Amino acid sequence: MTENIRGIGINTGSVNPYGAQAKGSEAKPEEKQPEVKTNTPQNQTVKPEDVLAYMANSAVVVNPKATTKTYDVSKYVTPEQAARIAGFVTSFEDQVAKGLIAINEMEEFEGLSEAAKYEIAAAMVQ
């Protein structure tokens, strides 16, 4: 019967979890190896300021300076479309410039930075 099972390809050696010992040989007792302790404390101490500085520096993402790319517009749009888009851009820039003039004249916005003023002026354009 076992020959038929082996013909199917079933591993009958895995049925016995203890494994079969060879006949005529006895099991050798396991040799005990001395235990080595590796949990030794480190003698080096780190200042809390150094840890906080490392954490602050690792959280900052440094982006390399972006290079400006030039694109050949004629590959993507026709000359009529390019002229129409250029007209939209110039009208947007004109409206932002008018908004900046209005913001600079108001006393409420005197303490704002230039970048904040540009953002407000761009948001005013519809």
Q: What's this model's pTM, rounded to 2 decimal places?
A: 0.41
Residues 95, 100: Cα–Cα separation, whole Å: 9
Domain boundaries, the chain: 77-124
- How do the pLDDT tens digits run along the chain, 126 residues long? 555 655 566 665 666 656 555 565 555 666 677 676 677 666 678 888 888 888 877 776 666 666 778 888 889 999 999 999 999 999 999 999 998 888 888 888 888 888 888 888 888 887
